[in-house]
Amino acid sequence: MSELIDTAEALDAADELAALRERFVLDDVVYLDGNSLGALPAGVPARVEDVVRRQWGELRIRSWEESGWWTAPERIGDRIAPLVGAAAGQVVVGDSTSVNVFKALVAAVRMAGEGRDEILVDVTTFPTDGYIAESAARMTGCTLRPVAPAEVPSALGERTAAVLLNHVDYRTGRLHDLPALTAAVHAAGAYAVWDLCHSAGALPVGLDEHGVDLAVGCTYKYLNGGPGSPAYLYVRRDLQDRFDSPLPGWNSHAEPFGMRPAYAPASGALRGRVGTPDILSMLALEAALDVWDEEAVSVAAVRAKSLALTDFFLRCVGEYVPDGRVESLTPAAHAERGSQVALRCDDAGDVMKRLIERGVVGDFRAPDVLRFGFTPLYVGFADVERAARVLARTLDETG
């Protein structure tokens, strides 16, 4: 035990991202649930107070122009863009992940055109993505085929219009091969739609580099935007003129204040907007993103630390927890691992409840999965060692 504690201290001392922890509101709890809700960035409360008291309270309607409210969706989208490997002008912020999945999937089917009447969806997807895909299939007259990501290449055909995939599996933490799967989808003449909820802000994505067509993601996990913070939609630049949103709102009109009865879409990624944006949560998100700018944090450095943290956690669990008590569902290979570790064990719900009572916060996924998310911006190696040690003690007591 003492050896692992010493190792954690040495790793923390050498950690180039360690100073970032001070930019978050934290306590002595080991917080390993940033893959569900990121911690509060310290600069957010003051910014939100300014938005409420001055921009809304004093400027009122003038803030749409004077405080930049109207352009917030694309401005904040441009700040998220480099975190997912995209050039400016391709990401717009607004609505929820579910709504953006619907926009992207229906638009992809419409771009695919006649003769392509099949949608493939990740069989292990987060439930909402599956619900949305089923509804989009009904709306567009498509057949929906759930398939495992590894089986996508063999399942593609001339009828395939679009494929909806998760970059990282929300339950197991498995990282899917975005470049190879996107290339396979394109080779079949279909469109790739990626859900980045569990990867953006934790690892490189490379949307532009790999030619991804459309992508969506939330901002309240590794981007720390706050509960219910708005999601984002990526539309590759050369597809923007063909992007036909199933939700054409006045905010995406070419002349939003023209109040014309006929819809004419705006140019660029603005086509992804719908209605009036949620300004309070959107500007809280903008403040949360400051940590990436002010410290010049690179996604590569974050990924390196993420892998080091998850490696160390698995090592500590291996040494502290008796053989056979837990089973890791997260791949050992770095190329197949996101920024979380999922452990299967008996009585997982009760075990997680006890862990939280003892100051180690992860989460439980039915029926038997303990999930631990590692946000490199504020999680340290001492946190990891402590979490594994408390887990071992808890498992020992629960038999």
Catalytic residue from among 174, 221, 236, 273? 221
Cα torsion 43, 44, 45, 46: sign? positive
Is residue 305 flagged as an active site residue?
Answer: no
Indicate if the alpha-carbon torsion angle 360, 127, 231, 180 is positive or negative: positive
268 near 36, Cβ under 8 Å? Answer: no
Exactly one of 371, 372, 378, 386 is catalytic; which is it? Answer: 371
Do residues 83 and 201 make contact, with C-beta atoms less than 8 angstroms apart? yes
Strands 118-122 and 160-166, sheet pairing: parallel
Give exposure, 116-154, as e/b (b: 16+ Cβ within 10 Å). Answer: bebbbbbebbbeebbebbeebbeebebebbbbebeebee
Determine whether 371 is an active site residue: yes
Q: How far apart are CA 30 and CA 209, in angstroms?
A: 36
CA distances to 20, 202, 203, 314 from 14, in Å: 13, 20, 20, 20
Among the options 24, 31, 102, 126, which is catalytic?
126
CB atoms closer than 10 angstroms to residue 397: 9
DSSP state, 19? G
Neighbouring-strand partners of residue 369 = 344, 365
User: Are the C-beta atoms of residues 169 and 329 closer than 8 Å to each other?
Assistant: no
User: Is 220 noted as a catalytic residue in this protein?
Assistant: yes
Cβ–Cβ < 8 Å for 22, 42: yes
At what angle are helices 97-112 and 127-140 packed, to 10 degrees? 40
Q: Which of 24, 31, 102, 220 is catalytic?
A: 220
In which residue are the tokens 């916060």 written?
361
**Exactly one of 95, 122, 129, 195 is catalytic; which is it?**
195
Q: State the residue for tokens 């009828």.
A: 159
Please report where in the chains the tokens 């190329």 appear, as a residue: 335
131 belongs to the catalytic site:
no
* N- to C-terminal Cα separation, the chain: 21
Residues labelled catalytic: 126, 195, 220-221, 371
